[in-house]
Structure 1
Amino acid sequence: MKNYIIPAIRLTVVLMVLLCVIYPLAITYAGKMAKGKGDGETISKNGKVVGYALLGQSFTKPEYFWGRPSAVGYNAAGSAGSNKGPTNPDYLKDVANRVDTLLKYHPYLKRTDIPADMVTASGSGLDPDISVKAAQIQVKRVAQIRHIDENKVAQLVAQNIDKPVLGLFGPEHVNVLKLNIALDNLK
């Protein structure tokens, strides 16, 4: 029995030190080396924090670019998808309503021109980014409402495209909060 208990106690102590002290310290240190020093990358406007780079926000005014819809109302405490399948009548009604709203504010679009990320919520419900096409279809509306040259707004979108990580991982995308702040600073 002694041959089993003492090695088990030693292993337990070694694993406790490794997993309860060394590993958390290493992860904390790695987090402090990242953007935002482990507290998340904040986005500021006029010296005031207005949001986080990895957390979507609701933009509903027509003079701003709109983000991806959220199934949880952009509430980070309740991050989740809707859990409704593609044949669920409630889900289909939500998507149809979003398409109708987009077409109301973008009468120059056809249904087939609308990117899926503009009418479907993400798995987390908190996506801060939209596809490049989703930003581009909104350029005309934003430019008209703000009385800005459409080419300037399109150029602003092009300047705010985030490339894939290391040029390989993920698609190009646009952070909606950063784009809207740049839009406010355009004047």
Structure 2
Amino acid sequence: MNLVGLLRQSWAGLRVLLLFTVILGVAYPLAVTGVAQVAFGDQADGSLVSHDGEVVGSSLIGQPFDGAEWFHPRPSAAGDGYDTLASGGSNLGPESTELLATVEERRAAVAEENGVDPADVPPDAVTASGSGLDPHISPAYARLQVARVAEARGLAAVAVADLVSEHTEGRILGVLGGERVNVLELNLALEDLEAS
């Protein structure tokens, strides 16, 4: 192969590289981003939750709430707890003595904090989700916390229980998963209830 043929093939290869760089590296990502913003604007921006004009979190990512006046999320195995940079489960299997000890410790703590029998503590109150960042709890775990939250805030337990019912979401598409309660959204509604 001579030098002219080599240069011609190199120039053709460079043009293809530049063309695909523009198409796949610029045009395609811009098109996907544009469609996402138009069709799913809230989700594309991270499903942010605002309260009193300030972004307070995402409806897709759990966060800790400490204190008797708040509904508590399920435990987190992400880093030091709700660390979005270290998302993941504990990777402890069902036969793990460490996991069983942790579950029993959490069960006793939740039961004591809420004044209930340890046998009444639902599984999501003592186990972390696969990501460690699940923003939802079961309605059973939310109802278990109603008396504690109502007492800590000086509210009627019925009003707090009604709030839990209002924020209970059904199954996805009517068949996937179970009923769930978003803890961040419930706590924001609780704050609004107390302010009114």
What's the TM-score bracket when you normalise by the shorter of the two chains?
0.7 to 0.9
Instruction: List structure 1 segments (4+ residues) > 3 angstroms apart after TM superposition.
Output: 11-23
Kindly provide the amino acid, as one letter, of the partner of residue 94 in structure 2: P
1:19 shift after superposition: 4.7
**Equivalent residue number for residue 101 of structure 2:** 93
1:136 shift after superposition: 0.9
1:112 shift after superposition: 2.5
| CA–CA separation in structure 1 for the residues paired with 2:172 and 2:27 | 29
| CA–CA separation in structure 1 for the residues paired with 2:48 and 2:36 | 14
| CA–CA separation in structure 2 for the residues paired with 1:85 and 1:44 | 38
Q: 2:127 aligns with which of 99, 120, 125?
A: 120
The answer for unaligned runs of 5 or more in structure 1 is none
Greater Rg over alpha carbons, structure: 2
| CA–CA separation in structure 1 for the residues paired with 2:51 and 2:131 | 26
Residues 33-76 of structure 1 show CA distances to partners (whole Å, capped at 9, x for unaligned) of 31426220111121111111101001121110000100121000
**Equivalent residue number for residue 150 of structure 2:** 143
**Equivalent residue number for residue 105 of structure 1:** 113
Q: 2:69 aligns with which of 43, 60, 63?
A: 63
Q: 2:59 aligns with which of 47, 53, 56?
A: 53
1:78 shift after superposition: 0.5
Of 32-41 and 127-136, the range deviating more from structure 2: 32-41
Kindly provide the amino acid, as one letter, of the partner of residue 76 in structure 1: T
Kindly provide the amino acid, as one letter, of the partner of residue 37 in structure 2: K
Q: 1:131 aligns with which of 138, 141, 154?
A: 138
1:83 shift after superposition: 0.9
Distance 1:30 1:117, change over 3 A: farther
- 1:40 aligns to 2:77 (yes or no): no
| CA–CA separation in structure 1 for the residues paired with 2:26 and 2:66 | 46
SS in 2 for 1:138: helix
Residues 128-148 of structure 1 show CA distances to partners (whole Å, capped at 9, x for unaligned) of 011111111111111122121
The answer for unaligned runs of 5 or more in structure 2 is 1-8
**Equivalent residue number for residue 34 of structure 2:** 29
Counting matched residue pairs gives: 183
| CA–CA separation in structure 1 for the residues paired with 2:134 and 2:41 | 18
SS in 2 for 1:82: coil
CA RMSD of aligned residues (A): 2.5
Of 133-142 and 13-22, the range deviating more from structure 2: 13-22
Kindly provide the amino acid, as one letter, of the partner of residue 91 in structure 2: N
TM-score by length of 1: 0.85
Distance 1:164 1:29, change over 3 A: farther
SS in 2 for 1:121: coil
Kindly provide the amino acid, as one letter, of the partner of residue 43 in structure 1: V
1:170 shift after superposition: 2.3
Q: Percent identity?
A: 42
| CA–CA separation in structure 2 for the residues paired with 1:162 and 1:153 | 16
